[in-house]
């Protein structure tokens, strides 16, 4: 049973968290592809690079609707390959100890802690990206609706998680604009 409440946040707070972060891991999901948010995501990464923020993308092997879909979209957006990591390259608990912000964009099932914490869950045993291990997790999603597996995600109710609801492309563009304005 999931307890707690989803805490909402706003673009200003997300931009401020990213500005203060020394290490950021961005986790894109199918929602990035649907919204065509990869270009704004790449521009956010450029803004963070100007600030010398250690920024990586972690890609789940089944993110998107076909294997490799997100890798192609990120390459189209000009995101350097060395900043894009496959899930298994960046998913040991120790990898997350110094992550200030995990920015989840349009992902749900691939970051669902039920896979590890609930043996009776339909996704039990599925490898997931452990965003809940970051100091702060910010989730950009269209709504609080469930993902493909039709399961609630307890990560969204954690004390260290804030939800920024809305279209991924629009929200990413707003975050990018706030980062640019404060440069």
Catalytic residues: 30, 65, 148
Which pLDDT value is given to residue 1? 67
**Within a domain: residue 2?**
no
**Within a domain: residue 1?**
no
**Within a domain: residue 6?**
no
Q: pTM of the entire structure?
A: 0.96
16's tokens: 């401020």
Domain span at 26:
11-181
Closest CA relative to residue 21, chosen from 134, 140, 132: 134
Which pLDDT value is given to residue 14? 99
For 130-141, what is the mean pLDDT? 98
pLDDT tens-digit map of 6-61: 999 999 999 999 999 999 999 999 999 999 999 999 999 999 999 999 999 999 99
172's tokens: 């990413």
**What separation in angstroms does the CA of 170 have from each of 141, 153, 165?**
11, 23, 10
Question: What's the CATH code of the domain at 28?
Answer: 3.40.50.1220
Q: Does residue 64 carry a pLDDT above 90?
A: no
109's tokens: 């099932």
**Within a domain: residue 28?**
yes
Average pLDDT of the chain is 94
User: Per the structure, how many domains does the chain have?
Assistant: 1
Q: Does residue 80 carry a pLDDT above 70?
A: yes
Which pLDDT value is given to residue 90? 94
Q: What angle do CA 141, 30, 151 make, to 5 degrees?
A: 65
**Within a domain: residue 42?**
yes
**Residue 133 DSSP symbol:** G
**Within a domain: residue 74?**
yes
């Amino acid at each position: 049973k999931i307890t707690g409440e989803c805490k909402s946040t706003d673009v200003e707070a997300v931009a401020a968290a990213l500005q203060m972060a020394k290490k950021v891991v961005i986790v894109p999901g199918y929602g990035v592809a649907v919204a065509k948010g990869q270009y704004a995501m790449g521009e956010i990464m450029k803004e963070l690079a100007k600030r010398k923020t250690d920024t990586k993308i972690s890609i789940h092997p089944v993110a998107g609707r076909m294997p490799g879909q997100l890798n192609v979209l990120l390459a189209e957006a000009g995101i350097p390959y060395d900043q894009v990591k496959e899930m298994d390259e960046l998913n040991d608990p120790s990898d997350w100890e110094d992550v200030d912000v995990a920015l989840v964009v349009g992902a749900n099932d691939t970051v669902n802690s039920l896979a590890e914490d609930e043996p009776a869950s339909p996704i039990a045993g599925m490898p997931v990206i452990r965003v809940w291990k970051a100091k702060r997790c910010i989730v950009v999603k269209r709504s609080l609706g469930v993902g493909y597996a039709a399961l609630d995600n307890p990560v969204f109710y954690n004390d260290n998680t804030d939800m920024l609801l809305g279209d991924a492309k629009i929200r990413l563009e707003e975050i990018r604009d706030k980062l640019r304005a404060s440069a």
